[in-house]
């Protein structure tokens, strides 16, 4: 399990880590609002890719899902992360008196960006697998 964890960190953890760093940098600039959709889109894509790879790395522990199952489960997990991220923003606004969430339409846009990013990343994974005929199962 430790070996699989290190392989996952090397293979896929770079994506969500890069998005978190990007988010931290943008949060310190005046461009947060302009890049909000892009940040949530990239976050959804990165976490979907991470979960897709995690399902492969831990198949000895979790079982071996079909390729469709990996895509669907990765999408569901990425969508759940997006929801919990928005709940974290709401918690921060309510209890820490931050002002992250500006409106309900903005929150819905964030969730849309997250799911769109997840679908895009998983679609690209599928296409690359087909084009390269790689055995990524």
Residue with tokens 């998005």: 19
Q: What is the pLDDT of residue 90?
A: 93
CB half-sphere exposure, 133, CA atoms < 13 A = 0
Judge contact between 118 and 44, C-beta under 8 A.
yes
Note the pLDDT of residue 136: 53
Residue 43 lies in a domain: yes
Residue 95 lies in a domain: yes
Each residue's pLDDT expressed in tens, for the chain with a length of 137 residues: 788 788 888 888 999 999 999 989 998 888 878 898 999 999 999 999 999 999 988 887 888 888 899 999 999 999 999 999 999 999 999 999 988 888 999 999 999 999 999 999 999 999 998 888 766 55
pLDDT of residue 5: 83
Per-residue confidence (pLDDT) for residue 92, from 0 to 100: 93
Task: Please state the pTM of the whole predicted model.
Answer: 0.87
| Size of the chain in residues | 137
137 within some domain: no
Q: What is the pLDDT of residue 137?
A: 53
Distance CA 48, CA 19 (A): 12
Tell me the backbone φ, ψ of residue 109, rounded to 5 degrees. -65, -40
Considering the domain boundaries, does residue 45 fall inside one? yes
**What is residue 30's predicted lDDT score, i.e. its pLDDT?**
83
- The domain of 46 spans 2-132
What pLDDT is recorded for position 10? Answer: 84
63 in any annotated domain: yes
Torsion-angle region of residue 98: left (phi > 0), alpha (psi -120 to 50) or beta? beta
Whether 110 is in a domain gets the answer yes
**Residue at 35 is within a domain:** yes
Q: Identify whether 50 is part of a domain.
A: yes
Residues 92/48, Cβ–Cβ less than 8 Å: no
Number of domains in the chain: 1
């Amino acid at each position: 399990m430790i070996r699989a964890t290190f392989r996952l960190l090397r293979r896929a953890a770079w994506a969500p880590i890069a998005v978190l760093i990007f988010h931290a940098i943008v949060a310190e600039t005046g461009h947060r609002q302009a890049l909000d959709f892009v940040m949530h889109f990239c976050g959804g894509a990165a976490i979907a890719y991470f979960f897709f790879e995690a399902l492969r790395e831990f198949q000895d522990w979790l079982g071996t899902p079909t390729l469709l199952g990996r895509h669907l489960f990765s999408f569901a997990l990425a969508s759940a992360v997006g929801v919990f991220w928005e709940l974290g923003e709401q918690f921060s606004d309510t209890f820490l008196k931050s002002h992250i969430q500006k409106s309900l339409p903005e929150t819905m846009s964030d969730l849309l960006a997250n799911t769109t990013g997840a679908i895009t990343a998983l679609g690209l994974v599928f296409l690359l697998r087909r084009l390269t005929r790689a055995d990524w199962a």
